[in-house]
A and B are shown apart, each in its own frame.
Chain A
Amino acid sequence: MTIPLLETHDLVKDYEIGGEVVHACNHVSLSIARGEFVAIMGASGSGKSTFMNMIGCLDVPSSGTLLLDGVDTKTLDSDALAEIRNRKIGFVFQQFNLLARTSALDNVAVPLIYAGLGYAERRERAKAKLEEMGLGNRLENTPAKLSGGQQQRVAIARALVTGPLMLLADEPTGALDTQTSLDIMGIFQKLNDDGITLVVVTHEPDIAEYAARRVVFRDGKVIEDAAVKSRRRATAHA
């Protein structure tokens, strides 16, 4: 029995909006093991994004415990959290969040800057990741010259470049058409097969069917947590 990659106990996040307290995350206890592929579902405002921001160390819980790789994040200062985001977690966003007017290669190299790598090594690793994503011929293109699917693949390369344990994707297919969405899920499945833990937040039920486990949020609480019965497979177009 190994320790779970991620474990939460009574995780709470409260917001105060207009004098009223909103429980965006209400005593959530969840455990995610290494190598899992989890889809987090729920309507808008259900707390799924808040939960993901907390497990991604982007947001700080109001109370409760979050153990990442066995470490209680409460004990970590902002620098240590930044280091976890850099080394252990890769983020993929709905709007890709690439730096404009910056080449694909330089975009992918950004996390390596904060990992303290030298220029030549940054370029080499970023190039390798982009080639893995099938973008070897797009290294110097800026985001404006890439399609949505290509941009998201640059973003995935960027998330993977530091060799993280876990990929967190917030509505990764929200801005993509159906076929491109399938491609992205195919990439995720392949990455998962290679051993990376994946947590994907989505509100689309058919996207969730590519995951192995589905967690459903409503009003800040987990209302369903089960294995996906008829799991779909997508073939990655790399």
Chain B
Amino acid sequence: MPNILGSLAGWGVNVAIAMTALRTNLMRSILTTLGVMIGVFSVILAVAVGNGAQVSVTQQIATLGSNMAIVVPQPDSGSGPPRPTDRGRLTERDGRAILRQVSGVSAVAPQIRSSVQLVAPGRSATTQATGATPEYGVVSNVTASEGRFLTEGDVSAAARVVVIGQTVSDKLFADANPVGETVRINRVPFTVIGLLESKGSNLGNDNDDQIVVPITTLRQRLLTTATQGPDDVTLLFVGFDDEEALLAGQVEIKRLLRDRYRVPKGRINPFTVRTTTEIAETTGQVTQIFQAVLVAIASISLLVGGIGIMNIMLVSVTERTREIGLRMALGAKRSDIRNQFLVEAAVLCVIGGAIGLILAMVAAAIFQQLADFPAPIGIDTALMAVAFSAVIGLVFGGYPAIRASRLSPIEALRSE
């Protein structure tokens, strides 16, 4: 026990000696610390941005709705004689068939998507229009924060009504309440019946820059190109009761559609069925790779900082060879000398790491404000930063420290 106390006291002395040595060469110490500081700063920021990308992607997927499959026609680019289905086709009837025949399906939301031009008195905007049914609101968590969402009545009557996103509202009506106003969509007058609840933006993708109109109205009045059939859709959202039903349902939907389009065995499906779970997984993997690449690049600067530490510590050992000899003559053991220089390197690194961490936090906060992009720095990241810089200190300070401790007392004393 006295041994442990003694060695603790010894470390305290080493810290004091290190601080004195670092103060003596203040400018050099600051420049050396700068290397580690920049290294830790970039690694932490890279981790934060990577984390932010992940959070962002997760949010984006959450805005799609959960336990949902997205069915999209997929033109077959394979060889062989062309078939009607090769052009990629999906209809509202397919949607009704899925609702009827696939188990666990809670709702099907057929949609047609088209780019449209909106004009309000004195202002205009271009945005994406989704022709939808009330099910769209159910399946993908879309509600109206002002006014109301689409109803069955709107759809069956092909009413000229529109629910607009926040961004569109800002562009056309500024701060005024848009509900009840009239807009011209592709020159056709529509009445605004509601404002979509804001879903924010993710990764530069503005979720509020869209409008929703009844699918029937879009088909009859807004489509500029003719579709193949009277009830063709761009895609189907299929909502499931739970995740289990979703997994089984994905396979069932594929089988059902192959049957309906009589796709022969061995031929690629003329549509894709992706689940929100799958999308989350793939994008999760992509962001992980993104983060790994960022961290790898940032690590290079940390490595360079570490080499800077080693360089300066070697210079320091050479410069202070006589001091090392004197300390040995006065009773310093090899381990005392080694620890003295190790602590000196560690102090440099930990100070650099701490400043780097603080700067990274400031930068992340600024980034968050300016780019509207989350860059969270958690306690784990902070601990990692401290551990990182300590390890850098031990690794790159280790060699010079051991070299110093191996000096012969008399040769060290004799050096000039």
Contacts and interface: CB of A to CB of B under 8 A. Distances in A.
Interface string A90-132: 0101000101011000000011011110100000000000000
Interface residues on B, range: 20 to 34
A58 B409 contact: yes
Nearest to B413: A58
Nearest to A100: B24
Nearest to B3: A116
B9 to A, nearest CB: 6
Interface in B1-16: 6, 9-10, 13
A99 B323 contact: yes
B286 to A, nearest CB: 56
A97 B323 CA distance: 8
Contacts of B333: 78-79, 82-83, 114
- Please classify the interface of chain B as helix (H, G, I), strand (E, B), loop, or mixed, using the class held by over half of its residues: helix
Q: Which has the most chain B C-beta neighbours within 10 Å: A59, A82, A162?
A: A82
Contacts of B329: 56, 58, 85, 91, 97
Contacts, number: 62
A215 B20 CA distance: 42
Contacts of A173: none
A59 B412 CA distance: 11
Given A97-B329, A114-B331, 17 more contacts: A53-B410, A58-B409, A58-B413, A59-B410, A78-B333, A79-B333, A79-B335, A82-B334, A85-B328, A85-B331, A97-B322, A99-B323, A101-B20, A113-B13, A114-B332, A115-B331, A116-B9
A99 B24 CA distance: 12
Nearest to A168: B329
A55 B327 CA distance: 17
Interface string B309-349: 00000000000001100111111111110000000000000
How extensive is the interface on chain A, given as a class?
20 to 34
Interface of A: 53, 56, 58-59, 78-79, 82-83, 85-87, 91, 93, 97, 99, 101-102, 110-111, 113-116, 118, 158, 162
With most chain A CB atoms within 10 A of its CB, the pick from B329, B331, B332 is B331
Contacts of A59: 408-410
9 contacts: A56-B329, A85-B328, A97-B322, A97-B413, A102-B20, A110-B327, A114-B336, A116-B6, A158-B330
B315 to A, nearest CB: 17
B5 to A, nearest CB: 9
Contacts of A82: 328, 331-334, 336
A171 B360 CA distance: 57
Contacts of A93: 413
B409 to A, nearest CB: 5
A118 B59 CA distance: 57
Contacts of B334: 78-79, 82
- By Cβ-Cβ distance, the 3 closest A-B pairs, closest first, are A86-B331, A114-B331, A58-B410
A103 to B, nearest CB: 11
A211 to B, nearest CB: 22
Interface hub of B24, B322, B413 (most chain A Cβ within 10 A): B413
Interface string B156-195: 0000000000000000000000000000000000000000
